[in-house]
Chains A and B, each alone.
Chain A
Amino acid sequence: MTLRIRGMTKAYGGLRVVDDVSFEVSSTAVTGIIGPNGAGKSTLFSLVTGFLDGDAGSVSFADKDLSRASPMARARAGMVRTFQVPREFTHLTVRENLLTAAPNQSGEGLLDVFLRPGRIRQEEERIRAEADAMIAFLKLDRVADSPAGGLSGGQKKLVELGRALMTGARLILLDEPFAGVNPVLIETISDRVRELNARGIGFLIIEHDLAALTKLASVLHVMDRGRLIASGAPSVVLSDPQVRDAYLGGAAA
């Protein structure tokens, strides 16, 4: 399954925040996007996942054209994002956070809630088992029954990852999964990503932490001022002088 982005463009006023970006992401790989602040990475994410309407460009996933689809439809097609600032459901427990994400719950229909409680109970047992497995896998056992609003930044990132996984996503788009996360948890998150990738789930990751990202990703795309300036294996891309100039130079300044 492949995510294809073609000619994606978005301008605010005269400023082209994302400028004619095209690339492909394989759902068998871990792909990274890097670039200095304001390069348009997060905007690109929002365009791809449908949270922003682009001025031009197309998106398809698994050969299905999603260019006009709603964010919900894109997620249901198997392409699920997380957010730069975690968007946990603050008043729900970690377990409940995961439970919300399970697809096709008949208990989300009001009629069934009142007329078919038995069926819902069965379904709930099944999803709950799934969620508990996920909690164990993400090492969130100790906080499973705490409100998600009280977790640390890294734990919240894990909850978001868990939620995305619960949807049955084939490709998960992580927006700065390591930002504000302590080194131990960065390791945990990286391990889980690797393991999940090995099970056949693709990742597209925006990240500032180059070291952590290069250990994970097999392909890197570099953005600068809205444009894609380089793509390829991490070692190749990072030695590209244009990249060094735009990104590393920019970061140093």
Chain B
Amino acid sequence: MRDIIELASIGLVSGLVIGLAALAVTLVFGIARFANAATGDTMTLGAYAALIGTAWTGSFLAGGALGIAAGAATGLLAYHFVFKKLEQRSSVASLLASIGVGFVIRAVLGLVFGHGQQVFQLPMVRPFRIYDIRVQPNDLKIAAAAIVTLVVVFLILHATPIGRRMRAVADDPMLAKVSGIAPKRVMIALWALAGGVSAVAGVLLGMKTVVSPEMGWEMLLPAFAAAVLGGIGHPVGAVVAGILLGVAQEVVSPLVGFTYKIALTYAVLLGVLLFRPRGLFGRNEGVR
């Protein structure tokens, strides 16, 4: 039992990171209406920017802030130079272009930083125990950072005028247009927000693991899976699904074998889609 609780808590932390990445995917999907494959590489970029920031200032928080700024800037640049031009076209065009954007980001990172691994120098601390459950201080930090980010994002979405407009566009683009919401401002807010969230996910992933040009790309699949599982375009769903997948992976994979850990994600995904074709929280949309 103790093992399972520990595994679940491990999964929870991984799940929060996946959930953040999925949140970035789902925000873009809900409003710009395509699956953004550049999300993973935006994460990587955020992690590298945070590394630089930390090295410059010596402060991890300042580094993280630079990471977020870099992620947001990347989102805006990608919107301005690529996705804005594809707005009137099918979602597949944007999806394919986003793969291209991801490749370009990865190429630049590879050229600038090389392919070797880099790490965030976190203090390594031994765990403390609560009811005989091991709790790792670094996990707590990562989880806290993820939760703070989530709270901020949801505050932006629900308590600011631009956030409400974003949600309105997500709910019904036609309606939003009729009621006079300037889509351009919404799009700018969206891309800055999604880029920033990706960067946070990247920094947290980098703290847990190592930073390399491919790290974000490798996390893209789980992030997509979580976004779909949660019901694409549904922010709460993305986060919940990310946690669900993270926990399921850790708790179940000792039983089915660790080599099938990643496959578990898809098993869960397919299983849910069989019964809820639009994901856990997805609305049954009508004729599109």
A46 lies within 8 A of B287 (CB): yes
Q: How many contacts A-B (CB < 8 Å)?
A: 11
Task: Give the Cβ gap from B132 to chain A, nearest Cβ, in Å.
Answer: 45
Contacts of A89 in B (CB 8 A): none
Contacts of B286 in A (CB 8 A): 43, 46, 51-52
Find residues 271-286 in chain B having any chain A CB closer than 8 Å to their own CB: 283-284, 286
Nearest to A17 among chain B residues (CB) is: B286
Find residues 242-288 in chain B having any chain A CB closer than 8 Å to their own CB: 283-284, 286-287
Task: Give the Cβ gap from A250 to chain B, nearest Cβ, in Å.
Answer: 16
Nearest to B286 among chain A residues (CB) is: A52
Nearest to B283 among chain A residues (CB) is: A12
Query: What per-residue 1/0 map shows which CB atoms of A43-83 lie under 8 Å from chain B?
Result: 10010000111000000000000000000000000000001
Task: Give the Cβ gap from A252 to chain B, nearest Cβ, in Å.
Answer: 19
B residues whose Cβ falls under 8 Å from a Cβ of A: 283-284, 286-287
Nearest to A84 among chain B residues (CB) is: B287
Task: Give the Cβ gap from B283 to chain A, nearest Cβ, in Å.
Answer: 8
What would be 11 A-B contacts, judged by CB atoms less than 8 Å apart?
Answer: A12-B283, A43-B286, A46-B286, A46-B287, A51-B286, A51-B287, A52-B284, A52-B286, A52-B287, A53-B284, A83-B287
Complexed CA–CA distance, A72 and B44 (Å): 46
Complexed CA–CA distance, A83 and B150 (Å): 41
Complexed CA–CA distance, A43 and B285 (Å): 11
Nearest to B288 among chain A residues (CB) is: A51
Complexed CA–CA distance, A63 and B155 (Å): 54
Interface secondary structure of A, over-half rule:
loop
Complexed CA–CA distance, A12 and B284 (Å): 9
Contacts of A53 in B (CB 8 A): 284
Complexed CA–CA distance, A29 and B222 (Å): 55
Nearest to A87 among chain B residues (CB) is: B287
Complexed CA–CA distance, A51 and B286 (Å): 7
Complexed CA–CA distance, A43 and B287 (Å): 9
Closest 9 CB pairs of A and B: A52-B286, A51-B287, A46-B287, A46-B286, A53-B284, A51-B286, A43-B286, A52-B287, A83-B287
Contacts of B284 in A (CB 8 A): 52-53
Nearest to A83 among chain B residues (CB) is: B287
Task: Give the Cβ gap from A30 to chain B, nearest Cβ, in Å.
Answer: 24
Contacts of B283 in A (CB 8 A): 12
Nearest to A43 among chain B residues (CB) is: B286
Task: Give the Cβ gap from B286 to chain A, nearest Cβ, in Å.
Answer: 5
Find residues 150-171 in chain A having any chain B CB closer than 8 Å to their own CB: none
Complexed CA–CA distance, A83 and B286 (Å): 13
Task: Give the Cβ gap from B248 to chain A, nearest Cβ, in Å.
Answer: 29
Contacts of A83 in B (CB 8 A): 287
Complexed CA–CA distance, A43 and B283 (Å): 15
Contacts of A43 in B (CB 8 A): 286
Nearest to B284 among chain A residues (CB) is: A53
Find residues 26-54 in chain A having any chain B CB closer than 8 Å to their own CB: 43, 46, 51-53
Task: Give the Cβ gap from A149 to chain B, nearest Cβ, in Å.
Answer: 13
Task: Give the Cβ gap from B124 to chain A, nearest Cβ, in Å.
Answer: 49
Complexed CA–CA distance, A43 and B284 (Å): 13
Complexed CA–CA distance, A12 and B286 (Å): 11
Complexed CA–CA distance, A46 and B286 (Å): 8
**Given A46-B287, A52-B287, A83-B287, list of 8 further CB < 8 A pairs?**
A12-B283, A43-B286, A46-B286, A51-B286, A51-B287, A52-B284, A52-B286, A53-B284
Complexed CA–CA distance, A51 and B283 (Å): 14
Task: Give the Cβ gap from B173 to chain A, nearest Cβ, in Å.
Answer: 14
Find residues 10-28 in chain A having any chain B CB closer than 8 Å to their own CB: 12
Task: Give the Cβ gap from A48 to chain B, nearest Cβ, in Å.
Answer: 12
Complexed CA–CA distance, A199 and B283 (Å): 42
- Which interface residue of B283, B284, B286, B287 has the most chain A CB atoms within 10 A? B287
Task: Give the Cβ gap from A56 to chain B, nearest Cβ, in Å.
Answer: 15
Contacts of B287 in A (CB 8 A): 46, 51-52, 83
Complexed CA–CA distance, A75 and B284 (Å): 21
Complexed CA–CA distance, A83 and B283 (Å): 22
Task: Give the Cβ gap from A85 to chain B, nearest Cβ, in Å.
Answer: 10
Task: Give the Cβ gap from B126 to chain A, nearest Cβ, in Å.
Answer: 50
Nearest to A37 among chain B residues (CB) is: B178
Complexed CA–CA distance, A178 and B284 (Å): 29
Task: Give the Cβ gap from B166 to chain A, nearest Cβ, in Å.
Answer: 19
Complexed CA–CA distance, A83 and B288 (Å): 11
Complexed CA–CA distance, A83 and B284 (Å): 19
Complexed CA–CA distance, A52 and B284 (Å): 8
Nearest to B178 among chain A residues (CB) is: A37
Task: Give the Cβ gap from A228 to chain B, nearest Cβ, in Å.
Answer: 20
